[in-house]
Amino acid sequence: MTPAALETYLHDHIPLSRAMAVRVVSSAPGHVELSAPLGPNINVHGTAFGGSVSTLGVLAAWSALHLRLDQEAIACQLVIHRSQIDYLAPIAGDFTAIARLDEANWPAFLHMLTRRGKARLTVVAELSFAGQVAARLTGEFVTIAEPHA
């Protein structure tokens, strides 16, 4: 899936991503970078709203895992189970989220998913502003394999 195709998919299926004016900077299985402008994501202090920052992180983490599962051609449901975010610094302009799967965990995850039909994976997304990490989101996802047709 090209960055443009992923962007269209997100905008069409998750309208909040369109309201946030999310752009896909780069996308590959297991590695996605998104960006968002400050304007639609501003808060009462004139910096990025925590809900927007967290949401961009979830979108990046979800997209990285979604594209990686796509590459394995595994039909499954992918849902978020838990997430945590630490806000490290104010974001006073456009910001990005980079999520990259830890490939070291992938074989065990895949084994569990194919054997048990269900597996969990934790994905970290780093949020940056002006070249500095400004927040860190950890998402725990559950995947449930879909039965063959």
Encoded one letter per residue, x for contact with a second copy by CB under 8 A and - for no contact, window 30-49 reads ---------xxxxxxx---x
Shortest Å, Cβ 107 to a second copy: 26
Query: CA 13, 14, 20: angle at the middle one, nearest 5?
Result: 135
CA dihedral 135, 46, 39, 124 (to 10 degrees): 10
CB atoms near residue 108 (< 10 Å): 11
16: contact with a second copy by CB under 8 A: yes
Shortest Å, Cβ 106 to a second copy: 22
27: contact with a second copy by CB under 8 A: no
Structure tokens at 62: 């979800």
Which residue among 27, 35, 54, 143 contacts a second copy (CB under 8 A)?
Answer: 54
CA distance 123 to 109: 12
Beta partners for residue 126, in sequence order: 98, 136
Structure tokens at 22: 């999310």
Q: Binding to a second copy (CB under 8 A): which residues in 76-115?
A: 77, 79-87, 90
3-state secondary structure of 47: coil
Structure tokens at 147: 């039965």
Region binding a second copy by CB under 8 A among candidate stretches 14-22, 24-32, 94-102, 106-114? 14-22
Structure tokens at 81: 């189970």
119: contact with a second copy by CB under 8 A: no
Closer to a second copy by CB, 86 or 104: give it.
Answer: 86
Closer to a second copy by CB, 39 or 131: give it.
Answer: 39
Residues in contact with a second copy by CB under 8 A are 13-16, 19-20, 39-45, 49-52, 54-55, 58-59, 62, 77, 79-87, 90
